[in-house]
Amino acid sequence: MIKLEFRKILLIVALIISVFSVYGPAFHFNFVNYDDPAYVSNNETVKEGISLKNVIWAFTTFSNSNWHPLTWLSHMLDVTLFGLNAGYHHLINVVIHTCNTLLLFCLFYLVTHHTYKSLILAAFFGLHPIHVESVAWISERKDLLCAFFWLSAMVAYYRYTQKPSPERYLISFILFIFGALSKPMMVTFPFVLLLFDYWPLNRYLGSDRISHYHFTKSPWVWLIIEKIPMMLVTIIISYVALLSQSKGGSIAELPIMVRFANAVISYLIYLKKMIWPGELAVIYPFQTPSLWLAAAGFIAIVCILIISFTVRNKYPYVLVGFLWFFGTLVPVIGFIQVGSQALADRYTYIPSIGFFVAVIWGGASLIKQLIPDKFLKKVIITIVTMTALTLMMLLSYSQVRYWENSVTLMTNAVRVTENNYIAHENLGLALSELGLHDKALFHFNQVITINPDYAPAYMNIGSYYLLHKQYNKAVSFYQKTISLDPSLVRSYALMGKALSALGKQEKAAMYFEKVRQLSPGEESLQALRKFEQSEKD
């Protein structure tokens, strides 16, 4: 157990205040138009709140190409408690992130008994700008919940290793299951436990605690056997995750070399952003990767791992940290390309812990070797740490501000990335909602300049002309939309509206009937009713 001395209490309070001072402004933020409508603000099931029917839905739906029932239940609970007041949804995210920060401190203090290193680790995790996306984005509740159960399961696992029993193992296993029900990222958890066994638990050396069931005399064999129940669950999670993404049409068919190159380059970009978190955006569009850069990146990664392995006996935390970082990114690094993004800041929420461990413990050892004087060593560590944390807080506070609304968020994404047609589209939609239709049209045109085959952009331009009663232009853009993507139900309804306004009722009726066929009882039925009413009149 942690002895709560007055000094530790002050440090914990300072940590909590620091996190809240960075993320506190989010309480006044709105929902954004990227994923938040699908997850909360326009999701009719979630908006109903907690009920038996909705609990069943949460466990059976593949909505948004994901299966994460606890995340859905969390959003439903927010709606039940706070309605659609976005500020409270943001506040819950901040509270969970703060809890994760404290859990990380507790975990590493328990297993290493290093107060200050554990505190610095927690502070880096809590304040690093690359985590702003996971905290300030309501739709990323899944990241926070997964990390909460991940760290809780590791604390429970540590208690199990100190006094092994089926009951203690079961607690860790159940928390692991809860994490898996929050986000499939949990599939790498057994791998991280094996790293933890190596350092800081040193279980690979063998002890009475390892061989207490007498299945084997080899510590490593037992350590692997011990993880088999969790490994079996990871197989199931992986299958369900792939199934949900496949059914949702999120898996992109790309050549294996392109995916591999993008994965390697993404690793490099993540490392860069961990060291200097500049130009962060909500989405980085997938672009054809440079094979030369990928080759150089692959060599760099191999060198990092070789060096880490070479010094493992003296500095085991360096190897563990980098293996944690590279290993936990595997499910989201792009070997299986999901969605249109090349990478995402949110993917580093759990992997970053490994990087921070390698840097903090490795950096402390390096300074200790280079500077034998204890006082000077403390002064340097203090200056470096406080400088780093101050920069993190300033950059994070600035980054959090971009999440105030859809316009500020997407304007930043357009500014810091190139050819970001998704950011242009969402910025255009946000401007349209504010009545700034001409500005919105500019961004919709940017979308088709960047990606001429992106059907929704033509539909949005058509809607601009429909709004301005330029019906012939609207019809031409809707025709283009339908030719590019015949599955867009809304485009048929809007085409029907435009044709109806031109007095071409028979043609309009054909498109409205198409809406019925593609989405009976759902999409654009109001348009159908209006059309039918106009026929009666």
As for how many domains the chain has, the answer is: 3
Domain that holds residue 511: 453-536
- Give me the pLDDT at residue 206, please: 60
Regarding whether 360 and 226 lie in a shared domain, the answer is no
Q: Give the pLDDT band (50/70/90) at residue 535.
A: very low
Regarding whether 171 and 111 lie in a shared domain, the answer is yes
Regarding whether 20 and 81 lie in a shared domain, the answer is yes
205 found inside a domain: yes
CA 178/CA 201 separation, integer angstroms: 24
Regarding whether 320 and 231 lie in a shared domain, the answer is no
Q: Which of the listed residues 224, 248, 272 is the one where a domain comes to its end?
A: 248
CA 378/CA 381 separation, integer angstroms: 5
What kind and span of H or E run contains 476? helix 471-484
400 found inside a domain: no
- Give me the pLDDT at residue 249, please: 64
- Give me the pLDDT at residue 515, please: 85
| HSE (side-chain half, CA atoms, 13 Å) at 385 | 22
- Give me the pLDDT at residue 205, please: 74
Pick the more confident residue, 487 or 518: 487
> Which one, of 319, 347, 349, lies nearest residue 125 by Cα?
349
Regarding whether 295 and 234 lie in a shared domain, the answer is no
Q: Is pLDDT above 50 for 532? A: no
- Give me the pLDDT at residue 4, please: 61
Regarding whether 286 and 238 lie in a shared domain, the answer is no
Q: Which of the listed residues 370, 385, 413 is the one where a domain comes to its end?
A: 370
The tens digit of pLDDT for each residue in 330-375 reads 999 877 766 677 789 999 999 999 999 999 999 999 998 888 888 8
Q: How many helices (H) and strands (E) does the chain have?
A: 25, 2
23 found inside a domain: yes
Q: Which three-class secondary structure state does DSSP give residue 276?
A: coil
Tokens of 264: 């390697």
Instruction: Give Cβ neighbours of residue 107 (< 8 Å, ≥ 6 apart).
Output: 151, 154, 155, 158
Regarding whether 238 and 289 lie in a shared domain, the answer is no
392 found inside a domain: no
Specify the pTM. Answer: 0.92
The tens digit of pLDDT for each residue in 17-70 reads 999 999 999 999 999 999 999 999 999 999 999 999 999 999 999 988 889 999
Q: Is pLDDT above 90 for 255? A: no
CA 72/CA 49 separation, integer angstroms: 10
405 found inside a domain: no
Task: Burial-class residue 498 by CB neighbours within 10 Å (0-12, 13-18, 19+).
Answer: buried
Q: Is pLDDT above 90 for 5? A: no
Q: Is pLDDT above 80 for 217? A: no
Q: Give the pLDDT band (50/70/90) at residue 531.
A: very low
Report which listed range, 432-446, 481-495, 498-512, 523-537, is most confident. 432-446
Q: Which of the listed residues 248, 263, 278 is the one where a domain comes to its end?
A: 248
46 found inside a domain: yes
> Which one, of 438, 464, 456, 403, lies nearest residue 131 by Cα?
403
Q: Which three-class secondary structure state does DSSP give residue 335?
A: coil
447 found inside a domain: no
The tens digit of pLDDT for each residue in 187-200 reads 999 999 999 999 99
Pick the more confident residue, 216 or 146: 146
Regarding whether 208 and 60 lie in a shared domain, the answer is yes
Instruction: Give Cβ neighbours of residue 451 (< 8 Å, ≥ 6 apart).
Output: 421, 457
Residue pair 338/251 in contact (Cβ under 8 Å)? The answer is yes
CA 151/CA 172 separation, integer angstroms: 10
Q: Give the pLDDT band (50/70/90) at residue 431.
A: very high
Regarding whether 332 and 474 lie in a shared domain, the answer is no
Residue pair 284/314 in contact (Cβ under 8 Å)? The answer is no
CA 377/CA 380 separation, integer angstroms: 5
Q: The domain spanning residue 510 has which CATH number?
A: 1.25.40.10
- Give me the pLDDT at residue 241, please: 85
Average pLDDT, rounded, for the chain: 90
Regarding whether 257 and 229 lie in a shared domain, the answer is no
Regarding whether 138 and 16 lie in a shared domain, the answer is yes
End-to-end CA distance of the chain: 77
Regarding whether 259 and 216 lie in a shared domain, the answer is no
Report the pLDDT averaged over residues 219-244.
90
Query: How is 199-216 classified by DSSP, letter by letter?
Result: TTS-GGG--TTTSTT-S-
Q: Is pLDDT above 50 for 213? A: no
441 found inside a domain: no
